[in-house]
Structures are given as C-alpha cells and as structure tokens.
Chains A and B, each alone.
Chain A
Amino acid sequence: MSTPRGLGLLAPALLLVCVLFIVPLVRLAGLSLGETTLSLHAYAELFGAWSYGGILLRTLRISAAVVVGCLLLGYPIGYVLAFSTPRRRALLSLLVLLPFWTSVLVRNFAWIYLLRDGGVASSFAGTLVGSDQPVQLLYNEIGVMIGMINTLLPFSVFPVFVALAAQERTLREAAASLGASPARVFWTVTLPLSRAGIYAGALLAFATALGFFITPALLGGGRVLMAATFITQQVEEFLNWPLAAAASLILLAAVMILVALYRRIAAFNLPGGEHAAG
C-alpha cells in the first residue's frame, strides 16, 4: 500500500486535505494562541469562566443523550432492516433517509409546529407523565434533543444494519439449537456480535452532534447555547477569534479522543471469562 505508486494515486486527495484542512487547522491553532502576541489567554478564559465551561459540558451532555436516543430508536430499525426482504429493506431505508434529505429549515420548522405549547405532542406528553398541564417540549433541551435525534438517526441505523446483516444466520440457529429462546439468542449472540455497529453508529452520531448549529438555535429558541452556536457568536458578535479558535480545537480534540477510544475498542475482541479446567 505504501509503495510510491500507491502514494502517487493518493496525492490528489492528500493535496486537497493539506490545503483545505491541515493548513487552516494549523492557522486555527495559531489563532487560538493569540492574534498578536503568543499567549494561552483564550484557553485560560475558556476554562476559567464557569459559563464557558458550562457550554462545553452542555454540548457534551446533549450530544451523549442524543447518541443514547439514536441507538435506542435506531437499533430496532437497523434490526428490522437487516432481517427484511430486499424489497422491504429498500422501502424502509428510503423512509429512514427521508428526513436526512429534507432541508434543515423545513425539518426544524416542522418540529416547532409539532412540539409547540398546547400542540398534540406536548399534551400527549402531559398525559404520559400524568399531569393535566402540557409538558414544554420546545425552546428547551428536550426540543433540541428531539430535533437532533431526528436528524442523526440514520447515522446509528445504518452501521447497526450493516453489522447485523453481516452476521451469519447459522450463529443464531446454532444458539437456538443449543436451547436458547429467541430472547436469549438476541442477548447472547445477536447483540454482542453487533457491538461494532453500535460503536460506529454512536461515534458518528456523537461527532456530528457536537457540531450542531441550526437545530439548537431554532428548537432551543436561543435558550440552549451549544458549542457551535457559541463559536459563531464569538466570531460574528464579539470578534473574539482566539476564543472561537480555542473552543473549536477543544471540540476537535474531544472527537479525536473518541475516535482513538473507538479504535481501541474495535480492536479488542478477545473472548474472556469461562475457561475449561486444564
């Protein structure tokens, strides 16, 4: 792979990545260390002020909750996709991807309409929790999470689908023949062997969620400040480039740590536990 010939084929892509990604990134890193003099002021400010740290924590917390929501909703969908006939699979995939292809504004305004106070969703949620009052679903973190889960669902559905579809049918049949009920087959064979898909789906959804900008702004109604919004504010309103650059790099670092973690987990698939005597 690392032959000169292979490198030649990679050159256009490498050049593109260098010019459009690595160079701006280095420039961004430089910017975060001050516009005129070299200092760690921006980082100190970011970690020093409670409000700034709170924004980062909120971003991480919402993204994590969104990942959990995506997996809870996405796993069953991926499961159904994997065990459908090709025709039904094509139709269902289309339905999963439909929101993905819809304009982000249209999608968010649709949610605003659906989730608004006194709307169907909020009254229904009220009934669910046993209160006469409608539950507020819009212009708070719940609304933001609902919108983000809606957008990111395909990110968790498809890796799970791929992992399940690649699983050999005879493994489940073997487990059943050895006395495992369908539920036991799922917990002992199907689910553990689809872990790679779950991790990949979680990583994709989480990394994308960290950078969400429009959905938090619209469904949060300005009350749910997330990192991307904060960065834009710093650039556009306060012209504080170093702070925006520092915040961007911290987000990037968070994603890179997760990718590294994922690679560790994905490589770790040695069986453990029960050993026969001898």
Chain B
Amino acid sequence: MTSPNPPPVASAVGPVLAVRNLVKRFGKVAAVDDVSFSVAGGTFLTLLGPSGSGKTTVLRLLGGFETPDAGSIALGGADIGRLPPYKRDIGVVFQRYALFPHMNVAENVGFSLRQRGVATGERARRITEALEMVGLEGLGGRAPSQLSGGQQQRVALARALVFKPRILVMDEPLAALDKHLRERLQDEIRALQRRLGITTVYVTHDQAEAFVMSDIVAVMNAGKIEQIAAPRALYEAPRTEFVARFVGDSNIFRGPVNESRMRLADGVLIAFAGNGAPPTALMVRPEKIRIGKAGHQNAGDNLLQGWLIDMRFLGDACLYRVRAGAQEIVVRDLNRTDSAHFAAGDEVILTWPAADTVPLS
C-alpha cells in the first residue's frame, strides 16, 4: 500500500459531488466555515482532522441531518443542500453502526428496499447479494446484538450500499474496532469501494487510515479545509504548519528568511527549495535527515552539528532526539545492517538536501 493510488478519472460531466462555500454555525461557533471541495466519480475522499475540526458536521450536512446556513451541495449537478435525508439517495454508515435493534440482519439490510417498494422476491435476492458482498452470507436471520463489532459494521455497510446510492458517506466507521480488525476492514472497504466504483466520502481522525484508504485527503482544522491533496502530496508538501504537524512527524524551523535560506536563532542557515512568498516556517520530516558521526563527511545542502539527547529503538527504526544549537531535532533512522549506532551524549552531524526542506505558510 505504499504506491500512490491511481489518480481518479474525472468524468466528462464534472464532479459527482461538489460542495461550495458551505457554512454551518452552532450558536456563534462556525463548525463548518466556508468549505468547498469536489469529488470526481469513483473517488475515495477522506476528511481528516482532529475532533472538533468540523469533519463530522460536513458529513452530517451531506447526509441532510443538518441544514447549511450558507453554501450549496451539488450531487450529480442538482443542489441537494436543502433536501431532507430521505430524498438524497446517499448511503450513510454511522460511527456506532446504528443498526435497528428490533430487526434482524436481513430486515436491516432490506429496510431501504422496503421503503422503495421493492417486491419481496427481488428484495430477498438483493439482501442475499449484499450480505455475500460483505462476507456475511447466511447470517440474515441473526439479531444485530448476536454479531461481533466487525460483523455489525459489515451489516451497516451492506445496508448503506444495497439500494445503490449515488454516493457513500462514512463517519469514523472503524473507530470502535481493535487495531487488527480495523486494518483488515480498511482493506476490505477499500477493495469493495473500488470494485463498485462508488464515490465515497469518509471521515476519520486517524492519519494512517486516511492514507491507506483514500485517493484524496482533505485536512480540516477549525471548520476549514487546510489542504486537499493526494496522500503523498499531503505528506511531502504540506502547505501549512497545521498539516505538517497533523500528518506525520515533523521538525519545524523558524526565523527570518533571506532568498532561499532561513537564519535560525543560533545563526545557522537552513537551505530550502522554494520560489514563492517567503515562508513563515520550514519543515523537515524526521526520516529525510541523515545522522552520522561527527567528523564524517556526509553529503547534503543542510548540515547541523549537535549531540544526542536520547534514542528510542522502535524495531524497524531508531528515533533520535538531537540538540543542535537552539534546536531540538527528531531523526528517524531505518534499522539497516550498516546503520551506525549512537548513544546518548554522542556528537553527531545531521544532513539533508534542500529539496526535502518544505516551506510552510
């Protein structure tokens, strides 16, 4: 899952879902503050953000459970922003499944078909098909309470897909599951989404989950989208300090900028590759930095000298904390056979290319 997902093909008629200048206030607080994005057909888009960033509110606006104060939501070109939920044709998977406890699995899955007046035989066929799709064949007669958390989530997925909605939205559907099951379901949901080619909007606060599953990730903070990009672009070239900090680990530098150099408080110059407005901060990912013994000559545009505060052995890598002048820098060194070993107090030098220094605004 390390290769970037293929870029989604934009359909000729434009995006399936287009959100424009969406605003939702609760009292004086703008939970969603002028949010715009669009999703091409078949794309898996994730809204990623900390709790309170407005991602769930965007989802609830899509589902029609909240009414926007301003802005529009266009689904297939028609504005649905003020339609009630039952006229939207959107499949919703809720955080805690929201299965109907007084109905068995088959009745849960068949609920939408019943609302649409699908005949009994056809309904039974499609229920069976949907349960097979999520790997729950034969469990139609069970009560939701007789199923495990993972199975309940599959039922919720089958229920949201059985009526062939135009888009699927999911609100932290895996948050309640343990790590292993969560990872398995991430792969399963992703595979199913690709197979069906259904446009999906997914909400999570888990960066790894967002990266593994999504074509496009929108990072949200304080009701706004900070950046919307493919996972790799988001990681390699975060535009703001918030994104840099929220997505992966980062070393942040601050200081006055002159041309393509930043002068740190202790006088050290950091080179970066940038040709826009002067950045407010610079960022380097811990694994982009090479650590070496003092005196050894390492290639790199940036070179800092320092001493090791401590190290943490992670198995596949070592995490070093290095004091370099006024800076404290985190370095992640992969555990290779030829990796040098360091102990606290060692003098080290850190090097990295200017191209890996990301200017932030």
**Chain A residues within 8 Å of B, Cβ to Cβ:** 168, 170-171, 173-182, 184-185, 188-189, 192-193, 269-278
Query: What does the 1/0 interface line of B121-138 toward A look like (CB < 8 Å)?
Result: 000110110010000011
Chain B neighbourhood of A188, CB < 8 A: 111
Can you list 20 A-B pairs with a CB-CB distance of less than 8 A? A170-B94, A170-B98, A173-B63, A173-B94, A174-B94, A176-B85, A177-B86, A178-B163, A180-B86, A180-B111, A184-B86, A270-B143, A271-B104, A272-B104, A275-B106, A275-B140, A276-B109, A276-B131, A277-B124, A278-B137
In angstroms, Cα B126 to Cα A277, docked, is 10
B112 within 8 A of A: yes
**Chain B residues within 8 Å of A, Cβ to Cβ:** 63-65, 84-86, 88-92, 94-96, 98-107, 109-112, 115-116, 124-125, 127-128, 131, 137-141, 143, 159-160, 163
In angstroms, Cα B111 to Cα A170, docked, is 15
Chain B neighbourhood of A278, CB < 8 A: 128, 137-138, 140
In angstroms, Cα B114 to Cα A189, docked, is 13
B128-A177 in contact (CB<8A) = no
A173-B98 in contact (CB<8A) = yes
In angstroms, Cα B99 to Cα A193, docked, is 12
Chain B neighbourhood of A178, CB < 8 A: 86, 111-112, 115, 159-160, 163
Q: What's the nearest-Cβ distance from chain B to residue A153, in Å? A: 27
Q: What's the nearest-Cβ distance from chain A to residue B80, in Å? A: 12
A176-B64 in contact (CB<8A) = yes
**Which residue of chain A has its CB nearest to the CB of B60?**
A173
Query: Counting chain A CB atoms within 10 Å of each CB, which of B89, B91, B96, B140 scores highest?
Result: B140
In angstroms, Cα B86 to Cα A127, docked, is 41
Given contacts A173-B92, A178-B115, A269-B102, are A276 and B127 in contact (CB under 8 A)?
yes
From A170, A270, A272, B96 is in contact (CB under 8 Å) with A170
In angstroms, Cα B343 to Cα A130, docked, is 99
A179-B163 in contact (CB<8A) = yes
Given contacts A170-B96, A174-B98, are A274 and B90 in contact (CB under 8 A)?
no
Chain B neighbourhood of A173, CB < 8 A: 63, 65, 85, 92, 94, 98
In angstroms, Cα B160 to Cα A185, docked, is 16
Given contacts A271-B107, A275-B140, A276-B127, are A177 and B102 in contact (CB under 8 A)?
no
In angstroms, Cα B127 to Cα A170, docked, is 22
Q: What's the nearest-Cβ distance from chain B to residue A273, in Å? A: 6
Q: What's the nearest-Cβ distance from chain A to residue B115, in Å? A: 4
Q: What's the nearest-Cβ distance from chain B to residue A192, in Å? A: 5
A276-B141 in contact (CB<8A) = yes
In angstroms, Cα B87 to Cα A184, docked, is 13
From B102, B106, B107, B115, A193 is in contact (CB under 8 Å) with B102
Chain A neighbourhood of B85, CB < 8 A: 173, 176-177
Given contacts A176-B64, A176-B84, A192-B102, are A275 and B141 in contact (CB under 8 A)?
yes
Chain B neighbourhood of A180, CB < 8 A: 86, 111, 115
From B64, B84, B104, B163, A274 is in contact (CB under 8 Å) with B104
In angstroms, Cα B106 to Cα A269, docked, is 16
In angstroms, Cα B124 to Cα A278, docked, is 10
A189-B100 in contact (CB<8A) = yes
Given contacts A173-B92, A177-B88, A189-B100, are A276 and B63 in contact (CB under 8 A)?
no
From A177, A270, A273, B107 is in contact (CB under 8 Å) with A273
Q: What's the nearest-Cβ distance from chain B to residue A106, in Å? A: 43
B86-A181 in contact (CB<8A) = yes
Extra contacts besides A174-B98, A274-B140 (17): CB < 8 Å: A168-B96, A173-B65, A173-B92, A174-B99, A176-B86, A178-B159, A179-B112, A181-B84, A181-B86, A182-B84, A184-B86, A188-B111, A271-B102, A274-B107, A276-B109, A276-B124, A277-B128
Chain B neighbourhood of A193, CB < 8 A: 100-102
In angstroms, Cα B112 to Cα A179, docked, is 6
**Which residue of chain B has its CB nearest to the CB of A180?**
B115
In angstroms, Cα B84 to Cα A177, docked, is 9
Q: What's the nearest-Cβ distance from chain A to residue B284, in Å? A: 43
In angstroms, Cα B110 to Cα A174, docked, is 13
Chain B neighbourhood of A192, CB < 8 A: 102
In angstroms, Cα B202 to Cα A94, docked, is 44
Query: Counting chain B CB atoms within 10 Å of each CB, which of A170, A178, A278 scores highest?
Result: A178
5 A-B pairs with the lowest CB-CB distances in the bound complex, closest first:
A276-B140, A178-B112, A179-B115, A276-B106, A176-B85
In angstroms, Cα B233 to Cα A179, docked, is 38
Chain A neighbourhood of B98, CB < 8 A: 168, 170-171, 173-174
Query: Counting chain A CB atoms within 10 Å of each CB, which of B91, B104, B128, B143 scores highest?
Result: B104
A274-B86 in contact (CB<8A) = no
Given contacts A174-B94, A177-B90, A178-B159, are A274 and B110 in contact (CB under 8 A)?
yes
In angstroms, Cα B89 to Cα A164, docked, is 27
Chain A neighbourhood of B88, CB < 8 A: 177
**Which residue of chain B has its CB nearest to the CB of A177?**
B92
In angstroms, Cα B98 to Cα A168, docked, is 8
In angstroms, Cα B281 to Cα A261, docked, is 72
Chain A neighbourhood of B160, CB < 8 A: 177-178
In angstroms, Cα B114 to Cα A274, docked, is 11
Chain B neighbourhood of A171, CB < 8 A: 98, 100
**Which residue of chain B has its CB nearest to the CB of A184?**
B115
In angstroms, Cα B85 to Cα A182, docked, is 10
In angstroms, Cα B124 to Cα A275, docked, is 8
In angstroms, Cα B172 to Cα A170, docked, is 14
A271-B127 in contact (CB<8A) = no
**Which residue of chain B has its CB nearest to the CB of A272?**
B104
**Which residue of chain A has its CB nearest to the CB of B159?**
A178
Chain A neighbourhood of B124, CB < 8 A: 274, 276-277
B143-A274 in contact (CB<8A) = no
Q: What's the nearest-Cβ distance from chain A to residue B224, in Å? A: 25
**Which residue of chain B has its CB nearest to the CB of A179?**
B115
